[in-house]
Structure 1
């Protein structure tokens, strides 16, 4: 009895202490912590008074108004309510990162100022201020696992700016939406979309919002504000308490019951970054690599086996090969034909997409296909084989299937139809990438959320879909030149995107129609070629039929040469949704790609990115004089050029241009 009374007394004392602490916190004057970017253009202010708020200034202009943030754990304990600051530690960094897989550049400069705030209650926040953005994340220091009940992540704007926003209707989504352009307040609390989004501050200045380093935690969606503020608010998928395959489906694992928490996770950890990218102009949206900088370092000691490259893909062109003496289809002869084509033009891989096996059992191979024979044939021709699989099937057979793939010489997997990013699905991405890396297999995630930093930790993840890509042209007209010029400014901020370019049947707007088995693209032939320079994907598809490519040796002269990884990246001309011209370097060569929407455009470019003192040869693939009527029309030119020379390029409606600059020999 005495022990019980003592326990009650201790509890009463503890509650009294907490109450006093809260009252003291409420009565304290506001505390403001300031952190500036290395170049002093960006200032972050963190205000503590009853809650935690942050605001951001660029050259003294407020671009993010005071925005509350908090984390709710366990029995609805709000980390951030009446915060009591214990200390602030400040650090800075000026590092050089050499990516295992070079997406934009060979050397990534990681320079920032950081403030780490520790609060009473064994939690804190880390704020980083870069020259091109601000990021923050929570951390906790508990010894036992905890449940995350909710997170308050808000992004408040001083005015009702316009935003490029990809609406979705369900948390079960393929992350393949078009972008609406509307005022932030018009989104409202009932509608939501996925990150990244881009906010237009009307004078050329842009803000992009996304999440990074998402691990053992759900990804971030964004919604509007019920109080009528110009504010975006984070929305997170609850933990799936119960899942069930949809009726007559082998791939869509629906969440039929949600838990009353977002994640159950270790208590001693750092949580995902919330990133606010600041861009003075549209070009900076494309050139920034801040997401990579915020991502966790690689967990692989040896990355030498990871091989980026181009892929001859079967599914988009529906295996429509011709001029052969065998029946095309999912069979050994057809895939040997794809391998022969890939070998002829130095493509690193082919993909066997849906149909090579029973989607529900990776060990039930199509009877018309001798998989091991195809893989061995590819090895002899130096062409690797990548196998498509439903994520759910792969997860059920993970170790057994990957062991088998490794044993027979398969080089990678294309994993499809995840269509979620709750904590459980996020953990699958890591589990799959890790298991694949142990077998030296590269990974391409389709039906996936956008990149969230995992590719730096596991660089065998060469690409991700999470984009309204060219496959949609098989059944809709959504993938237009305007859309093509939104995604590099918005989706590509997050990381590589497997858009799957390379269509050889091209159409102007009035001529286009979706045909599932004989698909075409909107825009010109050179519009498709330019995508290989502009769209980042270390694993890049050639989506059309080998038979179509074989009829166009001039086109293949470009597609066989263009790399998929880059040493330098420059944005020469840029306007979101309208046009983009970029130059990228690989080895000694430079490549230039230019895209326009349905408006024809002319640009006069300076070639001072070329090394001076050398003569250069420019191989040019440009829109033909009749490309406005017949989109397949193009012209191949070769000229000599020197660094600093003017270069005029003409892009037709829905047009493009691709140039390869090589030192004259």
Structure 2
């Protein structure tokens, strides 16, 4: 009897000692190309291989809670679970109707009530912390380290200098990409996600996050060894005051020493690496959708994507009329008439229709009720601009009031933060808007992280340096940026870039203008953006007068959908060019753009259904587009799945098509 007890005790202590030694776990992608290795010891690290290439060197992860409890320090694995998943799901108002969701899963359950879940797909890998605490918790910090085995190139959107006396976490999230090596990451600065690492062997990786709820967004800064990056998060706001542009921002005057106080049992955001062997695949990636929560809105039949006649970028600059153009009822009737004639679904009333700090008080020059009725008679609905600060003074009351009047949505601006308080506010606005059957366009906003799947009444986000900014920035290289964001920023979700300029300029001729703004690049570059850039609610940035003078281009924009059933990435190279085709029902739409380098591209029409003859309406750069960026050629030709055509894109140029049978 005593010998038996001694054996059991010996076995117990042996297992207890063994379980606290470093443990290795491996999970691979369904196709076997990606291998994620997890080491659980004094720290928890993960590394990622793609075939023989090291994408991520061993990188530690942890989460520090109150009472200095560190999830990930000397962690004890209780058990593990593996699962193979191969499903599909529908995501409304997206670039494709059905998404394939195949991955291998590893769930590690640890002592002290937490888990880490890893998912490995054929195109990337992700992990998230999960806690199972009985009481609420305070998250003090999170460690997300990203280490690399070599000094690779990166495309990094910087946000602010950490030495700046202003709060470095207050940002419009509008930045071009700095093309530098990892070691050249500017010291004491922050960058936001997504960003790209170039492995110089045709492979690239983009780093993102998804399912950001009740938690701050992730920033990165350089690590001490200059071989990678480490995480930074904005602390929870305690005190705020009015400030910023027109005094309509809430500036943070005091922050807590923690990230968030939250539920003890919950899932935390996904940390994601997407890996590509071909640049074009990044422009047709669904990872954020796959890692986001399904819709919380049972009836989505009232949600109507579409295009918007927009006033602000063109400075209400209409002419050949017998009234004074501006923020007034007559001008907006003109916008509505234009939208109705061209079957544009919405008109937005941007700043000026109300008091900026009290949107329940209208401008005496804007008869809102008359405009709503006028639009309804012409099948045009109204969307209202407002600041986040003004809306959140009485979110539920304001949304209910304007929904009852017949307004269809709000463009909410100047959020300019992604701390946990702001993230929670975004979910609150989305839910209350859905309760009142209202659409939301979050302008002045951080990048999306999948909330558009959860709340599909959110049809767009900014978090991009779009056309509205570009009209004042002659030193920005806009065509190169346009050829970069489909492979980086657009992976996170839709972009309120606001294309559609009818005044187009070459690199040498572009000049800033407020009331007669121009775009960098050709007319066809602008037309192509309506297919390339994802935006279920897509602005038409120029004035009705400009569009009516260019009716042929306007017709093309007006008939291009804003959501699609299928997307095919034809070709592309980050920062140089991109070509995408998208299908809506049986009609295909194609867009291609280039940076300031003119180039010849080949369009392979093999994405078309075999055996059918199609008619392609094609807008290509005109022979004189290098000098006159407005120059284009329109032609209609027959094509089929065997067709291959070469086109020369002018510097800053583009190509746009509608293909139907």
Pairwise TM-score range, normalised by the shorter structure: over 0.9
> Could you tell me whether the CA contact under 8 Å between 2:354 and 2:362 is conserved in 1?
yes
> Could you tell me whether the CA contact under 8 Å between 1:607 and 1:646 is conserved in 2?
yes
Runs of 4+ in 1 over 6 A off after TM superposition: 23-27
Tell me which of 86, 107, 118 is aligned to 1:94.
86
**Alignment correspondent of 1:591:** 589
**Alignment correspondent of 1:326:** 323
Q: Name the SS of the counterpart of 1:396 in structure 2.
A: coil
Bigger shift: residues 90-99 or 207-216: 90-99
1:371 aligns with 2:371: no
Measured against aligned partners, the alpha-carbon deviations of 1:506-540 in whole angstroms (never above 9, x if no partner) come to 10011111111211000001100000011001011
CA gap of 1:47–1:190, structure 2 versus 1, over 3 A, is same
**Alignment correspondent of 1:4:** none
CA gap of 1:437–1:25, structure 2 versus 1, over 3 A, is farther
CA gap of 1:524–1:248, structure 2 versus 1, over 3 A, is closer
**Alignment correspondent of 2:442:** 445
Tell me which of 104, 107, 123 is aligned to 1:132.
123
**Alignment correspondent of 1:398:** 395
Task: After TM superposition, give the deviation of residue 397 of structure 1 in Å.
Answer: 2.0
Task: After TM superposition, give the deviation of residue 344 of structure 1 in Å.
Answer: 0.8
1:150 aligns with 2:141: yes
Q: Distance in 2 between matches of 1:304 and 1:294?
A: 24
**Alignment correspondent of 1:196:** 194
Task: After TM superposition, give the deviation of residue 49 of structure 1 in Å.
Answer: 1.3
Task: After TM superposition, give the deviation of residue 62 of structure 1 in Å.
Answer: 2.0
1:335 aligns with 2:332: yes
Q: Distance in 1 between matches of 2:119 and 2:245?
A: 48
**Alignment correspondent of 1:3:** none
Q: How do residues 237-316 of structure 1 correspond to structure 2 at under 5 angstroms?
A: 237-246=234-243, 249-316=246-313
Q: Distance in 1 between matches of 2:604 and 2:244?
A: 58
Measured against aligned partners, the alpha-carbon deviations of 1:145-170 in whole angstroms (never above 9, x if no partner) come to 11000000111111111110011112
**Alignment correspondent of 2:574:** 576
Task: After TM superposition, give the deviation of residue 28 of structure 1 in Å.
Answer: 4.0
Measured against aligned partners, the alpha-carbon deviations of 1:411-438 in whole angstroms (never above 9, x if no partner) come to 0100000100000000111011111011
Task: After TM superposition, give the deviation of residue 185 of structure 1 in Å.
Answer: 2.0
Task: After TM superposition, give the deviation of residue 59 of structure 1 in Å.
Answer: 1.2
Measured against aligned partners, the alpha-carbon deviations of 1:329-386 in whole angstroms (never above 9, x if no partner) come to 1111111111111111111111000000001001111101100110111111111110
**Alignment correspondent of 1:539:** 537
CA gap of 1:25–1:174, structure 2 versus 1, over 3 A, is farther
> Could you tell me whether the CA contact under 8 Å between 2:244 and 2:251 is conserved in 1?
no
> Could you tell me whether the CA contact under 8 Å between 1:26 and 1:82 is conserved in 2?
no
Q: Distance in 2 between matches of 1:398 and 1:368?
A: 25
**Alignment correspondent of 2:5:** none
Q: Distance in 2 between matches of 1:510 and 1:641?
A: 36
Q: Name the SS of the counterpart of 2:526 in structure 1.
A: helix
Q: Name the SS of the counterpart of 1:112 in structure 2.
A: strand
Task: After TM superposition, give the deviation of residue 479 of structure 1 in Å.
Answer: 5.3
**Alignment correspondent of 1:123:** 114
Q: Name the SS of the counterpart of 2:486 in structure 1.
A: coil
**Alignment correspondent of 1:187:** 185
1:35 aligns with 2:32: no
CA gap of 1:249–1:504, structure 2 versus 1, over 3 A, is closer
Bigger shift: residues 651-660 or 609-618: 609-618
1:476 aligns with 2:473: yes
Q: Distance in 2 between matches of 1:249 and 1:525?
A: 34
Q: How do residues 423-438 of structure 1 correspond to structure 2 at under 5 angstroms?
A: 423-438=420-435
Q: Name the SS of the counterpart of 2:240 in structure 1.
A: strand
Measured against aligned partners, the alpha-carbon deviations of 1:62-94 in whole angstroms (never above 9, x if no partner) come to 211111000000122111000100000112211
**Alignment correspondent of 2:381:** 384
Q: Distance in 2 between matches of 1:400 and 1:101?
A: 28
Bigger shift: residues 177-186 or 502-511: 177-186
Q: Distance in 1 between matches of 2:568 and 2:472?
A: 35
> Could you tell me whether the CA contact under 8 Å between 1:25 and 1:49 is conserved in 2?
no
Task: After TM superposition, give the deviation of residue 25 of structure 1 in Å.
Answer: 6.7
**Alignment correspondent of 1:513:** 511
Q: Distance in 1 between matches of 2:59 and 2:53?
A: 16
Q: Name the SS of the counterpart of 1:291 in structure 2.
A: helix
Q: Distance in 2 between matches of 1:69 and 1:635?
A: 54
Q: Name the SS of the counterpart of 1:455 in structure 2.
A: helix
Measured against aligned partners, the alpha-carbon deviations of 1:250-292 in whole angstroms (never above 9, x if no partner) come to 3111111110000110111010000011111211111111110
1:523 aligns with 2:521: yes
Task: After TM superposition, give the deviation of residue 248 of structure 1 in Å.
Answer: 8.3
Tell me which of 482, 485, 488 is aligned to 1:487.
485
CA gap of 1:231–1:489, structure 2 versus 1, over 3 A, is same
Task: After TM superposition, give the deviation of residue 550 of structure 1 in Å.
Answer: 0.6
> Could you tell me whether the CA contact under 8 Å between 2:43 and 2:60 is conserved in 1?
yes
> Could you tell me whether the CA contact under 8 Å between 1:412 and 1:441 is conserved in 2?
yes
> Could you tell me whether the CA contact under 8 Å between 2:20 and 2:74 is conserved in 1?
no
Q: Name the SS of the counterpart of 1:584 in structure 2.
A: strand
Give the paired residue count: 641
Task: After TM superposition, give the deviation of residue 233 of structure 1 in Å.
Answer: 1.5
Measured against aligned partners, the alpha-carbon deviations of 1:546-573 in whole angstroms (never above 9, x if no partner) come to 0111111211221111000111111111
Q: Distance in 1 between matches of 2:660 and 2:263?
A: 53
Q: Distance in 1 between matches of 2:639 and 2:119?
A: 44
Q: Distance in 2 between matches of 1:397 and 1:338?
A: 29
Q: Distance in 2 between matches of 1:476 and 1:24?
A: 63
